Structure 1
Amino acid sequence: MSKRSIDREPALIKDVLKKMLKPKDLPMLALQVRLRQVWEETVGENLRQHARLVDFRNKTLWIEVTSNPLMQELYFLKSRVLTTMQQQLGETVIKDIRFRLS
């Protein structure tokens, strides 16, 4: 068996990222970053510690919650949170918020 040469120099991170990310992925990544920012601003520190954004697909935000009572509280707040996020992001970006236990 032949050994691979380890003489290569380390690659620059920007070069690695260019190979991994395609230009079509960048708008979705930017949207995910913005969604997370708006979510954190909207729910505040107390809820953010126990409920985190885990996914966004088909215009639905998926939030992972640490307990049933907190999930019920978020269900009561859902329409207000959704309206606030739609005002900041535009009404067509998010259509629903779903919660699941972690």
Structure 2
Amino acid sequence: MAQQGPKKIGDIVANLLARRGFAQIEVTEQYQQTWQEIVGNVLAPLSRPGNLKRGVLEITVANSTAMQELTFRKRQLMSEWSKRLPDHPIKDLRFRVGTLT
């Protein structure tokens, strides 16, 4: 296994707190990119990941049709997320219809 360089203590503490469910992590570029890869070209423009709080990733969705499709694929999406970002595990996805920014 290849060794990585030193990590910032703030990143280490944030990851630990997130894993334990004590912190809220704001969406990052990495989250956005991973989400787009997981949901694909059709649903990516219709949904945006928000905050990860206590293992629950909040997803804003443009309309109820897209929300229904994402809800149907929820287990698959969570599995793919865990494979791609094992250091940022999620226990659940919470979808809500809203304005995408």
TM over 0.5: same fold? Answer: yes
Alignment TM-score, normalising by the size of structure 1: 0.65
Select the structure that is richer in helix.
Answer: 1
Alignment TM-score, normalising by the size of structure 2: 0.65
User: Which of the pair has more CA radius of gyration?
Assistant: 1
Percent identity, aligned pairs only, is 30
For 1:24, give the aligned amino acid. G
**Is 1:85 matched with 2:81?**
yes
- SS of match in other structure, 2:89: coil
Moved over 3 A (4+): 25-29
**Is 1:42 matched with 2:38?**
yes
Check whether the contact 1:55–1:61 (CA below 8 A) recurs between aligned residues. Answer: yes
- SS of match in other structure, 2:90: coil
**Is 1:55 matched with 2:41?**
no
Q: C-alpha separation between the residues in 1 aligned to 2:73 and 2:87?
A: 18
Q: State the Cα RMSD in Å.
A: 2.7
Task: For residues 28-76 of structure 1, give each alpha carbon's deviation from its aligned partner in whole angstroms, at most 9, with x where no partner exists.
Answer: 67x8333222111111121011111122111111100111111111100
For 2:92, give the aligned amino acid. D
Gaps of 5+ in 1: 1-22
Total equivalences in the alignment: 80
Map of 1:98 onto structure 2: 94
Q: CA deviation at 1:90?
A: 1.8
Gaps of 5+ in 2: 1-8, 16-24
Check whether the contact 1:50–1:66 (CA below 8 A) recurs between aligned residues. Answer: yes
Check whether the contact 1:32–1:56 (CA below 8 A) recurs between aligned residues. Answer: no
**Is 1:24 matched with 2:10?**
yes
For 1:51, give the aligned amino acid. S
Q: CA deviation at 1:91?
A: 7.7
